[in-house]
Chain A
Amino acid sequence: MNEIGLTHILFVSTILFFIGVYGFLTRRNMISMLMSIELILNSVNINFVAFNKYLYADKLDGTFFTIFIITIAAAEASVAIAIIIHLYRNLKSVDIDDADMMKF
């Protein structure tokens, strides 16, 4: 218990993941939902880095994946914010419950 092992880190990333999922499912504000998605992505990043360090210390694949995910997250955030801005212009609101036109 005096050394921080893989388990600890996975524990942290799991908590982070579920905080993100919880936030995504309960937040009404679209910006907050976007932030929750970032949390989910980052928890995955932690996993990648941790597994890389503890199991395959001589390889860099996990680190590369993390960098890819960060890049894609940035792109995704810009697209998502563009969508949010458009929705705001149409609905005068960033509440996700107001954007429910696509139904039966």
Chain B
Amino acid sequence: MNGNFYIALIPLLPLATFVLLGLFGRKYLSSISGIIGTLSLLISTLISITTAYNYFLVDGKVNGVYQKIIAFNFTWLQFSPNVSIDLGAILDPISVMMLVVVTFVSLMVHIFSLGYMKGEERFATYYAFLSLFTFSMLGLVLSTNIFQIYMFWELVGVSSFLLIGYYFEKPSAVAASKKAFIVTRFADLGFLIGILILAFNAETLDFGTLIERLTNPASPYLINATTLSFFGMSALTWGLVMVFLGGAGKSAMFPFHIWLPDAMEGPTPVSALIHAATMVVAGVYLVARLFPIYSFDVTALHVVMYVGAFSALLAAVIACTQTDIKRVLAYSTMSQIGYMMFSLGVSSYGGENGLGYMASMFHLFTHAFFKSLLFLGAGAVIHLVHSNEMKDMGGLRKLMPITHITFLIACLAIAGIPPFAGFFSKEEILLAAFHSNKLIYGVALFTSGLTAFYMFRLYFTIFWSKPSYANASDGRESHAHAEHGEGTSTMKIPLIILGACAILAGFFPIASLVTSDGAALETHIDIVFSIAPVLLAIGGILLAMNLYKSENDKPQKLAISLGGFYTAAHKKFYMDEMYLFITKNIIFNIIGKTAAWIDKNIVDGFMNFLAGFTALISELIKGLQSGKLQQYAIYFFVGVIGFMLLFIYIWA
């Protein structure tokens, strides 16, 4: 499969679309820009599905082990004979899987947006940005070296920034886009440092060589990297933790999660694509890409595990108290990514021990479908209600039957009810956690119960709760909504397709395709083991049903009885306030003001002194140049006489 340049078409088609729509979209193509974007992405999707078919079923396997294949690679910047930045495409199980997920979900979102974004003034710009994002994400997935991934990493950050700030007339959207960009940028600084540490120690940027050099116990690079230490941790650990920091920023892990809920200011299909299915799992993908090295370093792996587990729990607790449906989904995304992270953290490399790795990838795969479905469903609801707040909804199940059914499927999938997709992947994660760390297993189990609870809280509040939507809201407004109904067929089709995926994705044989070492992994669903999580999930659903199925004051009472804890969770554990406090009071006041003082008084002072001194001297001597010819003549004359005396009496 070497030299297959057609793979380059997968990311390059969206890039071409971006250039075309970005340059000419608004003026000439505004009515057909959506069609252009969707069609070009359709081709990309078909190519990537073909690629996946070829890779998994035809020629990817050698002796039962999936190989890493470099489809093409060309040197872009050559620094020295050994170190260069290349641009290329790598094909291995995770990248091929991500290719399919990204193009497929992106395609669904493109189709959905045809209806959802109809009539927007900057319709073409929207599609241009979507194409840019798809291009960057595909480039990220296909990266052959760590610097290439960094470039595309920043590119997805930019496209995320552009799309969150799409409604730039709204101050909150502007603030959210800035917040997302700054927080992830801050984390990316860690990523860059990590890249530099790893690349410095391994003397290469290429993933294959890097992994080979840093996992071979006899290699001098590894010995060097593990013996160099700084603050009690080896250079290798520092590098990996720093790289994970970048991943945590993009994947909204604690403590960098604060940007994700605010990022919901963007158009809802964007949230489905970027902030649920693809970009936010880039961090997981990154750790998975470097997993052979991570599995060598217990400390770094522990960091991944605990951060993931803590984020999963924290986000689930917060999600139970939020009232904005997109924010609930955002926290749920964060929680599920936490699952993927700690699943990588409990895993180790190769064979049966690689269960966590496989489970994480499996969950990434299934999560992409049901979470984008949830977001698109929420988008359809918001399209109808024109509000994000739960209290404006209720009783929508008659009004939008397709959205209702697909949303229910997605909720069941994320809650982990068999036989929906989420059940299988979550089961594998729990099993992996159970075998490795009982504390993590407990947290995961509890979180899965909470997940079922808050998802069905959302479901019941949107679709049941009030007797019917028309009675609940004031008459005039609801009338207008009822007219345009559930939305165009372009909005329903993606929901149906994704709904089918959310049911079937769990049966996809990821275990035999995507594993840490490429060899197939035997998995089996242990009925006895499954009882606990499924029962917990059902318990969560029943509790939510009891509280939210019809309007009553039980949730209110529960909130009051939980008291301070509820308020704290509702306020997201004051995380934003904490950040503001740290930035405003500590960084701005203490560090910032000191730095400003030093800058103003010492740095500027030195410069001002130099300038002032020069000015003073010149002020003193500028009278010499008077413009009077005869004065000059006198100077000349005196000078000649002086030289003459010097010549006669001293030098002679």
Q: Does B475 contact A (CB under 8 A)?
A: no
Q: Does B527 contact A (CB under 8 A)?
A: no
- The listed residue (B625, B629, B637) touching A21 by CB distance below 8 A is B637
Q: Which residues of A contact B633 (CB under 8 A)?
A: 24-25
Report the minimal beta-carbon distance from B305 to chain A, rounded to whole angstroms.
74
Q: Does B627 contact A (CB under 8 A)?
A: yes
The distance in angstroms between the C-alpha atoms of A103 and B632, with both chains bound, is: 11
Contact B630 A103 (CB under 8 A): no
> Which residues of B from 604 to 652 have beta carbons under 8 Å from A?
622-623, 625-630, 633-634, 637
Q: Which residues of A contact B637 (CB under 8 A)?
A: 21, 25
Contact B626 A103 (CB under 8 A): yes
> Which residues of A from 67 to 104 have beta carbons under 8 Å from B?
96-97, 99-104
Contact B634 A103 (CB under 8 A): no
Report the minimal beta-carbon distance from A82 to chain B, rounded to whole angstroms.
17
The distance in angstroms between the C-alpha atoms of A99 and B637, with both chains bound, is: 20
A101 (CB) vs chain B CBs: closest residue: B627
The distance in angstroms between the C-alpha atoms of A24 and B637, with both chains bound, is: 11
Contact B634 A104 (CB under 8 A): no
B629 (CB) vs chain A CBs: closest residue: A96
Contact B630 A25 (CB under 8 A): yes
- The listed residue (A21, A24, A26, A100) touching B628 by CB distance below 8 A is A100
The distance in angstroms between the C-alpha atoms of A97 and B623, with both chains bound, is: 15
The distance in angstroms between the C-alpha atoms of A101 and B629, with both chains bound, is: 11
Tell me if B's interface is mostly helix, strand, loop or mixed: helix
Report the minimal beta-carbon distance from A97 to chain B, rounded to whole angstroms.
7
Q: Contacts A25-B633, A25-B637; is A97 near B628 (CB within 8 Å)?
A: yes
Q: Which residues of A contact B625 (CB under 8 A)?
A: 103-104
Contact B626 A99 (CB under 8 A): no
Contact B629 A103 (CB under 8 A): no
Count A-side interface residues using an 8 Å CB cutoff. 12
Contact B630 A96 (CB under 8 A): yes
The distance in angstroms between the C-alpha atoms of A101 and B628, with both chains bound, is: 9
Report the minimal beta-carbon distance from A5 to chain B, rounded to whole angstroms.
23
- The listed residue (B622, B623, B626, B634) touching A100 by CB distance below 8 A is B626
A26 (CB) vs chain B CBs: closest residue: B630
The distance in angstroms between the C-alpha atoms of A102 and B624, with both chains bound, is: 12
Report the minimal beta-carbon distance from A99 to chain B, rounded to whole angstroms.
7
Q: Which residues of B contact A104 (CB under 8 A)?
A: 622-623, 625
> Which residues of A from 19 to 34 have beta carbons under 8 Å from B?
21, 24-26
Contact B634 A102 (CB under 8 A): no
Q: Which residues of B contact A101 (CB under 8 A)?
A: 627
The distance in angstroms between the C-alpha atoms of A100 and B631, with both chains bound, is: 11
A30 (CB) vs chain B CBs: closest residue: B629
The distance in angstroms between the C-alpha atoms of A103 and B625, with both chains bound, is: 5
Report the minimal beta-carbon distance from A87 to chain B, rounded to whole angstroms.
11
Report the minimal beta-carbon distance from A70 to chain B, rounded to whole angstroms.
23
The distance in angstroms between the C-alpha atoms of A100 and B627, with both chains bound, is: 4
B626 (CB) vs chain A CBs: closest residue: A103
Report the minimal beta-carbon distance from B616 to chain A, rounded to whole angstroms.
15
Report the minimal beta-carbon distance from B625 to chain A, rounded to whole angstroms.
5
Q: Which residues of A contact B634 (CB under 8 A)?
A: 25
Q: Which residues of A contact B622 (CB under 8 A)?
A: 104
Q: Which residues of A contact B629 (CB under 8 A)?
A: 96, 99-100
- Among A96, A102, A104, which residue has the most Cβ atoms of chain B within 10 A? A104
- The listed residue (A24, A26, A102) touching B627 by CB distance below 8 A is A102
Report the minimal beta-carbon distance from A47 to chain B, rounded to whole angstroms.
16
The distance in angstroms between the C-alpha atoms of A90 and B637, with both chains bound, is: 29
The distance in angstroms between the C-alpha atoms of A103 and B626, with both chains bound, is: 5
Q: Which residues of B contact A97 (CB under 8 A)?
A: 628
Q: Which residues of A contact B627 (CB under 8 A)?
A: 99-103
The distance in angstroms between the C-alpha atoms of A88 and B605, with both chains bound, is: 50
The distance in angstroms between the C-alpha atoms of A43 and B598, with both chains bound, is: 68
The distance in angstroms between the C-alpha atoms of A83 and B258, with both chains bound, is: 79
The distance in angstroms between the C-alpha atoms of A77 and B250, with both chains bound, is: 84
> Which residues of A from 23 to 69 have beta carbons under 8 Å from B?
24-26
Report the minimal beta-carbon distance from B636 to chain A, rounded to whole angstroms.
10
Q: B490-524, CB under 8 A of A: which get 1 and which 0? A: 00000000000000000000000000000000000
B637 (CB) vs chain A CBs: closest residue: A21
Q: Which residues of A contact B626 (CB under 8 A)?
A: 100, 103
The distance in angstroms between the C-alpha atoms of A26 and B633, with both chains bound, is: 10
The distance in angstroms between the C-alpha atoms of A96 and B630, with both chains bound, is: 8
Binding site for A on B (CB under 8 A): 622-623, 625-630, 633-634, 637
26 A–B contacts from the bound complex (CB under 8 Å): A21-B637, A24-B630, A24-B633, A25-B630, A25-B633, A25-B634, A25-B637, A26-B630, A96-B628, A96-B629, A96-B630, A97-B628, A99-B627, A99-B629, A100-B626, A100-B627, A100-B628, A100-B629, A101-B627, A102-B627, A103-B625, A103-B626, A103-B627, A104-B622, A104-B623, A104-B625
Binding site for B on A (CB under 8 A): 21, 24-26, 96-97, 99-104
Nearest 10 A-B pairs (CB), nearest first? Answer: A103-B627, A100-B627, A104-B622, A104-B625, A102-B627, A100-B628, A103-B625, A96-B629, A25-B630, A103-B626
